[in-house]
Structure 1
Amino acid sequence: MSAGRGAARGLFVSFEGGDGAGKSTQLRRLAEALRAEGRDVVVTREPGGAPGAEEIRRLVLEGEPGRWSPVSELLLFNAARRDHVERTILPALARGAVVLCDRFADSTRVYQGAARDVAAAGPLPAPDLAMADALHALVIGIEPDLTLIFDIDPEVGLARGVARGGEELRFESLGLDFHRQVRARFRALAERFPDRCRVIDAGGEPDAVFARVRAALAERLAAA
Structure 2
Amino acid sequence: MNYETCGHRSRRAPEDPADGVIVRPDTPLVPDTATYVRDASGKNGPMVATTVTRHGELTAGYVYAYARDVPTPEPAAFYEAEDATPSGPQVGTGHPGPSGSGYVDFQHTAPVTRDGSYLQVVTVGRSGIAFLGDAGKFVSLGRQRIAELSDDGTVRATIAYADGEGPVTLHGYSPADVSVSATGGRAGDVTYDFSTRRFSVPITPYEGSSSVRGEIAR
Q: Do the structures match in fold with TM over 0.5?
A: no
- Normalising by structure 2, report the TM-score: 0.28
Q: Which of the pair has more CA radius of gyration?
A: 2
User: RCO higher in 1 or 2 (8 Å CA, sep ≥ 6)?
Assistant: 1
Query: Which structure has the highest strand share of the two?
Result: 2
Query: Which structure has the highest helix share of the two?
Result: 1
